[in-house]
Chain A
Amino acid sequence: MLNIQNLKKEYPGFSLSIDQFHLEPNSITGIVGLNGAGKSTLFKAICGLIQINSGTIELFGQTFDELSKEQKENLGVLFNHATFSRYLNIAHCKKVLKAAYSHFDEALFDQLCKQLNLPYDKPLSSFSTGMEVRFKLATALTHEAKLLILDEPTAGLDIIARNKTYECLQDFMEKPDRSILISSHIASDLENLCDDFWVIHNGQFILHETVDALKNQYGILSVDAKTLDTLDPVAIVGIDRQPHGIKVLVSDRQFYEENYPGIVVSAGNIDDLLTILEQGER
């Protein structure tokens, strides 16, 4: 679906450098990292919105510029800072989408807008952040796209709205040969929705795991300095030393549970993983 090789994009003070990345069909993949780690830059590069210095990005086997109109219809996009002009209302946008996409599903669009409580006759400029992001989601989901690229699709949404979003996305995935690529730094996006995730830090991927492995095999050990020295480093992924205690990210918590009885272990989760990888040593 999506293949990236040796991508490099330089900005003064920041550079994006991706050796390889691939997105398979039938998967929801998350790209997670702190603000400024390069998620949006990567998405812009994928969508042909910025020039890259070197490397290849292939969507459906071709670069973005080479995509035919039909192939572009297979792409659904959500950017958190860009959408239709703000003086338009949903009725206008619907007309545009209908003219632009040959597989626009009007009934589904109407149903989604109703489900997400979106008014048809008010201009986009009057929408709250949450409404705007829900509208963008509706535009991405309703033209039979095969690949969705969503940049922070739950920004500004409360937990109920977020859960509704996950449901819409899982519904979207019911049809075969579809994939979703999401960027986020919100734990529930990744833990409750994604199948696998890549961690990006300073423009580079530093980890790729399935969410299943994260929750069922990864673990966070809370130890003191003495115990840390005794730990077998075979499955240690990161160590975060803080004055109040040391947190160790391991990729096989069962190993440590069995060999170091009494050690304090908790299940892996995104927030701790990110904190340890960002602040600590790897």
Chain B
Amino acid sequence: MELQISTTSMVPIYEQIANQIRKQIANGSLASGELLPSVRTCAKNHHISALTVKKAYDLLESEGFVQSVHGKGTYVSSISPNLVEEEMQKQLENAFDLAFTKAKTMNYTRDQILELVNTLLEDYDA
């Protein structure tokens, strides 16, 4: 399992790991029932704390993407790639929801929100 981790990014490392694993499950590089590397092996390969890896694995387990078996390791759940897409979409919707709630507390109108979104999207495309 390959991971690309940025230690300088402000995105917490456990989130980076979880994101990449979710993506790999979604595009099939990680198959159902496949055994993920042990927490220690992952920590060793990427020079990070084992607790960080464990946090990522725990998060994925709470979302249903993986299952950990005591004494054996962590396995990818028998989850179809579609379900993964669905789950990730749900998370994206939640993120938007949070942003809209905040905008509301700042009394943004609909148009103002759209204008903001367009401005940000320009940077995004670039």
Contact = CB atoms under 8 A, between A and B. Distances in A.
Interface of A: 28, 163, 166-167, 170-171, 173-174, 188, 191-196, 210-212, 215-216, 265, 267
A192 B48 contact: yes
18 contacts: A28-B50, A163-B47, A166-B44, A170-B40, A170-B41, A170-B43, A170-B50, A174-B41, A192-B47, A194-B49, A195-B49, A195-B51, A211-B52, A212-B13, A212-B14, A212-B51, A215-B49, A216-B14
B49 A193 contact: yes
Interface in B25-57: 38, 40-41, 43-44, 47-52, 55
B55 A212 contact: yes
Interface residues of B, number: 18
A268 B80 CA distance: 38
B126 interface: no
Interface of B: 7-8, 10, 12-14, 38, 40-41, 43-44, 47-52, 55
Contacts of A193: 47, 49
Nearest to A211: B49
A216 B12 contact: yes
Nearest to A213: B51
Nearest to B9: A267
Chain B at the A interface: mostly helix, strand, loop or mixed? Answer: helix
B50 A173 contact: yes
Contacts of B14: 212, 216
A171 B49 contact: no
A77 B16 CA distance: 36
Which 9 pairs across A and B sit closest by C-beta, in order of nearness?
Answer: A170-B44, A192-B47, A216-B12, A211-B49, A212-B52, A195-B51, A212-B51, A195-B49, A173-B40
Given A171-B40, A212-B13, A216-B13, 20 more contacts: A28-B49, A163-B47, A166-B44, A170-B40, A170-B41, A170-B43, A170-B44, A170-B50, A174-B41, A194-B49, A195-B49, A196-B49, A212-B49, A212-B52, A215-B7, A215-B12, A215-B49, A216-B14, A265-B10, A267-B8
